[in-house]
Structure 1
């Protein structure tokens, strides 16, 4: 039973496809071994990233299209993990150089032969760089240059958000809720969410994608999904004394209210953001045509599936 049924994310409209999910996850495991991120195999298998991509992209053009998106999802997970001071990560003071190297890896680089050997050596020592190098190469195989550029731009924004969170840790500072929500506009599920057209083999043009009102709607959608994640991750944060920041925990301390009340306020904000996205989707589809409507419908399905994945994945399953 879902303890957070009041979250207004709609249910996913698709059924499970275990055979396809198994194929994608087997290929994802093989890729992880090839690119040198075997340390994460346990978490990859536990979380079911391939299954998530299959559910979120029911009209994918091929298993390979799903695999490419799953690679990106894993690379984002590794980046997030790297940004916390734990067994896989780095201390906050060393994080910005790691993020700089990650950004260097995903962008085309100037051909400077004198630096090539050192650059290659450094990227090979970074599990973050190895993951993104493989993931971005795969994206270029199936996406248009504009779609790949869309992802790279979103990743640069994500890395800024990671850096901001690292700054809180360096200062040993608990941010106020307004600042946390600002940071979560940058550090969110946005990068994972924005490529349904790549998976399905169509394209929302850059002229439409970068409209300010479209970006505002997508940011609201991504933030809503992160608040949903805060709610379902809360037991893990409490049990493991996690260094992750969470809106319910911040609200409970800041407003001196019980944690249960803080969870309810987080759910209220989630529902407000989902409502805004759904209303904007109707308006934007009417104004900009069927491709816009299809893209935003695919985003809503992604949100629904991400919620379903949190409920059913072993990674987020609450203890009995």
Structure 2
């Protein structure tokens, strides 16, 4: 009997790259009509990167009127745009050398892309910043990449739309919470994290989900009525707004009505409906999986709170790998208007990179929210507190050791991401990895600059 070869479930990263590389190479050639017929493969075309221009745009003599929903990346309204495509491969990989194809494969040079280029990481951090200085003080010694202030036109429009959604569509919060909603500055947050979003509509995908996730955290777990008691039941029912219940005709209407019963479920339901419209089925399933991870992390922290347990440092870090920002950077391709194929996303190397990014960004939250959490009633677990208690050191030493944990995670993320981009030069892979890196940088920017919510301890 002939050997049937490996099962599809045993596919390796190179094999997955080979499967998807043909369609993506066709896209490259489609954007480079001067490539010779000998190079152009006779293959069906894959989904084009339609929002990315094939050539640089000449400056218009007069600024046209632009719909804010179609403002291009990193450009003020009405301005001409010069965009480098966010894809790339190692220098030793042979590629068609036509000008358009060369541009397609050389990678980006704009906001947030420095973190995947080892040579750039050796540059002083200040060199990465352009425009006015970012408000707020960065944590001394924290390894990060400064970014420029996000486009104010986009920030204003996203902020306007998300507040209208919160008030009019899902009735998310009462009037006396308005200052807290405004202080969250979610529009600035999401524009900084997703500079490659082709339109405001794409930015709104991430913005609604971010607000909905925070509503669940605040109202179910934290300081707006949250409690560890009964949390599992509340989270399970809320999760059905993301991953719908399939039941009998007798009980389906009762479940459907329950999705409107409180603000977190209304927000989850609405945000997921918008996400489903602009994502592929595999992207939506990926997000649901990541949200299940998040909810599992909430439950672990709640269990420790109920038993007044301070975990070991490694146990705390395990919990934070689930209770973290992972659902946010893993939708960077949906927000960017393309898709990292499911088989590539599922590769262990990609999963490790995503986990490291999520872990590093979550420790950033622990560090910047440290004084805010200390001022709250009861004991709030965060990495500095756990290190200080479990390792028997001072609060200051616990905090500084947590900074080093973050720095180690960041360096591991960047090294692993660069290695994966070199090992798998399918254009969507380095593009996705750079999108995650940009999200990491934007997340730090928001924490540093949000002085409404955060202040630093006096440890220096």
Normalised by the length of structure 2, the TM-score is: 0.66
Is 1:10 aligned with 2:180? no
Per the TM alignment, residue 154 of structure 1 is displaced from its structure 2 partner at its CA by 0.3
Is 1:280 aligned with 2:416? yes
Per the TM alignment, residue 199 of structure 1 is displaced from its structure 2 partner at its CA by 1.2
Spell out the pairing of 1:128-277 with structure 2 (5 A cutoff). 128-241=264-377, 243-277=379-413
CA distance in structure 1 between the aligned counterparts of 2:211 and 2:155, rounded to whole angstroms? 15
Following superposition, which runs of at least 4 residues in structure 1 exceed 6 angstroms of deviation?
A: none
1:45-94: CA deviations, max 9, x gaps?
Answer: 111111111111112121011111100001111122134353332x3221
Is 1:118 aligned with 2:238? no
Per the TM alignment, residue 253 of structure 1 is displaced from its structure 2 partner at its CA by 1.5
Per the TM alignment, residue 257 of structure 1 is displaced from its structure 2 partner at its CA by 1.1
Q: Give the gaps of 5 or more residues in structure 1.
A: none
Distance 1:16 1:242, change over 3 A: farther
Per the TM alignment, residue 277 of structure 1 is displaced from its structure 2 partner at its CA by 0.9
Query: Which residue is 1:28 aligned to?
Result: 162
Per the TM alignment, residue 242 of structure 1 is displaced from its structure 2 partner at its CA by 5.6
Is 1:309 aligned with 2:446? yes
Query: Which residue is 2:42 aligned to?
Result: none
Per the TM alignment, residue 120 of structure 1 is displaced from its structure 2 partner at its CA by 2.9
> Of the candidates 55, 63, 70, which is equivalent to residue 192 of structure 2?
55
Query: Which residue is 2:100 aligned to?
Result: none
Residues 227, 270 of structure 1: 8 Å contact kept: yes
Per the TM alignment, residue 164 of structure 1 is displaced from its structure 2 partner at its CA by 0.9
Residues 246, 252 of structure 2: 8 Å contact kept: no
CA distance in structure 1 between the aligned counterparts of 2:267 and 2:230, rounded to whole angstroms? 19
CA distance in structure 2 between the aligned counterparts of 1:259 and 1:315, rounded to whole angstroms? 24
Residues 81, 88 of structure 1: 8 Å contact kept: yes
CA distance in structure 1 between the aligned counterparts of 2:183 and 2:156, rounded to whole angstroms? 13
Indicate the structure with greater helix content. 1
User: Aligned-pair RMSD on alpha carbons?
Assistant: 1.8
Residues 275, 284 of structure 2: 8 Å contact kept: yes
